[in-house]
């Protein structure tokens, strides 16, 4: 939980109640910046456990007393946020997806790479491995596996008794002809149905303002599918969610997992904790990392805020201070004077010293030669 909740919003109230956030934890969220769409488990910051990523490896510190970092010119704190978290584990009932096992037959077959109606080839495996590498982990597989029902790919009209996979047979028996039509649609389109929308699904996209760039008036499902197949339009995750939820609604399939209530995880400890998440940059190495203080107590919030103020002062002191003086012209930064070889600075005499401090480079070598 990163954003301060709107207690007039039912979803926010439910989240606060379920995680068990205390008032002082919620107050800490008030200090968070507006952009927090990053973190140690997201996008390019995500990393596989045990992998060595050099300086950009994420760092996790157990508590505030163990946190010894200080901001300087090689450890620039670019961003931060407080985060309320609670120890959990992936939900076993849904395989960590948050979707009911029945709904996964619909959601997983949206694209063929996870579809139970498509058997991956070598190229597909390579793409999956590449995505796991750049995303830093393996996405939740769920209870419905890719390629699970490829032996059951049958033509429309085939009775449910001929379906080889027991899970698929159970789905057809439970939801009847509408679900069998879903299976046939996915199979006929190469194991996926993202370009085989029905009219109610196309209407849902239009009402969700997801087709305004491609169409000036409400399109038919055939028009949307044709554009998806020919390439000008690509359905993203939002479109997928809208269409899958609409199809599940039409088929009478419940979407959220009843065990975890759609969260994909279940809590394993009774109390939440407050974290401080930092985005740390290293200018010379040209990379960044996440540094997470995993537990901050109520009395330590003031220490964390003092640290963040120090980070701001360090960040702006040299890099931005002079630019912020605009339109006033700042004075040129004074350069340290170097010795001219006549004994100025810390050198001893005419280059016979040890070349310390402001002595001209190379005077130690010349002095040594003279001494010899």
Q: Is 100 helix (H, G, I), strand (E, B) or coil?
A: coil
Are residues 54 and 30 both part of a single domain?
A: yes
User: Among 193, 228, 244, which residue terminates a domain?
Assistant: 193
Question: Is 366 within the bounds of a domain?
Answer: yes
Are residues 102 and 69 both part of a single domain?
A: no
Residue 33 structural domain: 10-87+269-317
Instruction: Domain count for the chain, please give it.
Output: 3
- For residue 18, what pLDDT is reported? 93
Total Cβ atoms within 10 A of residue 258 = 11
Angle subtended by helix axes 237-251 and 199-207, to nearest 10: 130
Q: What are phi and psi of 273, to 5 degrees?
A: -140, 160
- For residue 337, what pLDDT is reported? 67
Are residues 78 and 114 both part of a single domain?
A: no
Question: Is 235 within the bounds of a domain?
Answer: no
pTM: 0.67
Are residues 20 and 105 both part of a single domain?
A: no
Are residues 35 and 107 both part of a single domain?
A: no
C-alpha separations of 137 from 43, 140, 290 in Å: 10, 9, 16
Question: Is 243 within the bounds of a domain?
Answer: no
User: Among 193, 228, 259, which residue terminates a domain?
Assistant: 193
Question: Is 99 within the bounds of a domain?
Answer: yes
Question: Is 230 within the bounds of a domain?
Answer: no
DSSP structural state of residue 331? P
Are residues 125 and 47 both part of a single domain?
A: no
Question: Is 260 within the bounds of a domain?
Answer: no
- For residue 133, what pLDDT is reported? 62
What tokens does 148 get?
């699970």
Are residues 75 and 127 both part of a single domain?
A: no
CA distance 179 to 175: 6
CA distance 184 to 152: 10
pLDDT tens, per residue, the chain with 372 residues: 999 999 999 999 999 999 999 999 999 999 999 999 899 988 888 887 788 888 889 999 999 999 999 898 888 999 999 999 999 999 999 999 999 999 999 999 999 888 999 887 788 777 767 666 655 555 666 888 888 887 554 444 443 334 678 999 999 999 999 999 999 999 999 999 999 999 999 999 999 999 988 899 999 999 999 999 987 778 999 999 999 999 999 999 999 999 999 999 999 999 999 999 999 999 888 889 999 999 999 999 999 999 999 999 888 777 788 888 889 888 887 776 666 655 444 544 444 444 444 433 333 333 333 333
Burial label, 240 (beta-carbon count in 10 A; 0-12, 13-18, 19+):
middle
CB 259 within 8 A of CB 266: yes
Are residues 144 and 56 both part of a single domain?
A: no
In 3D, which of 159, 251, 238 has the Cα closest to residue 198?
A: 251
Are residues 284 and 372 both part of a single domain?
A: no
- For residue 27, what pLDDT is reported? 97
Q: Residue holding tokens 């300087």?
A: 72
Are residues 167 and 74 both part of a single domain?
A: no
Question: Is 72 within the bounds of a domain?
Answer: yes
Question: Is 67 within the bounds of a domain?
Answer: yes
Are residues 70 and 132 both part of a single domain?
A: no
DSSP for 266-297 reads: EE-SSS-EEEEEEEEEETTTTEEEEEEE----
Are residues 129 and 48 both part of a single domain?
A: no
In 3D, which of 43, 58, 74 has the Cα closest to residue 285?
A: 74
What tokens does 297 get?
């107590």
């Amino acid at each position: 939980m990163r954003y301060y909740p709107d207690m007039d919003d039912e979803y926010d109230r439910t989240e606060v109640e379920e995680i068990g956030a205390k008032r002082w934890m919620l107050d800490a969220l008030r200090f968070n910046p507006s952009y927090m769409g990053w973190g140690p488990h997201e996008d390019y910051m995500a990393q596989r456990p045990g992998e060595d990523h050099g300086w950009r490896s994420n760092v996790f510190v157990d508590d505030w007393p163990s946190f010894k970092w200080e901001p300087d010119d090689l450890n620039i704190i670019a961003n931060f946020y407080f985060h309320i978290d609670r120890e959990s584990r992936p939900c076993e009932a849904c395989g960590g997806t948050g979707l009911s096992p029945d709904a996964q037959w619909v959601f997983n077959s949206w694209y063929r790479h996870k579809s139970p109606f498509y058997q991956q080839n070598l190229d597909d495996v390579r793409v999956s491995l590449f995505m796991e590498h750049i995303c830093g982990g393996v996405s939740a597989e769920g209870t419905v596996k890719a390629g699970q029902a490829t032996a059951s790919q049958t033509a429309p009209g085939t009775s449910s008794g001929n379906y080889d996979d027991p899970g698929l047979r159970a789905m057809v028996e439970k939801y009847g002809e509408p679900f069998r039509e879903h299976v046939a649609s996915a199979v006929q389109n190469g194991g996926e149905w993202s370009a085989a929308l029905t009219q109610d699904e196309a209407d849902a996209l239009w009402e969700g303002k997801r087709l305004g760039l491609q169409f000036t008036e409400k399109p038919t499902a055939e028009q949307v599918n044709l554009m998806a197949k020919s390439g000008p339009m690509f359905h993203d995750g939002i479109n997928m969610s809208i269409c899958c939820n609409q199809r599940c609604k039409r088929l009478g399939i419940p979407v959220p997992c009843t065990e975890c209530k759609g969260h994909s995880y279940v809590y394993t400890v009774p109390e939440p904790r407050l974290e401080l998440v930092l985005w740390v940059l290293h200018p010379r190495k040209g990379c960044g990392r996440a540094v997470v203080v995993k537990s901050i107590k109520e009395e330590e919030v003031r220490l964390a805020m003092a640290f963040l103020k120090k980070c701001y002062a360090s960040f702006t002191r040299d890099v931005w201070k002079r630019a912020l003086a605009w339109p006033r012209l700042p004075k040129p930064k004074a350069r340290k004077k170097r010795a001219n070889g006549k004994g100025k600075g810390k050198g001893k005499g005419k280059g016979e010293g040890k070349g310390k401090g402001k002595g001209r480079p190379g005077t130690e070598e010349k002095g040594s030669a003279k001494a010899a």
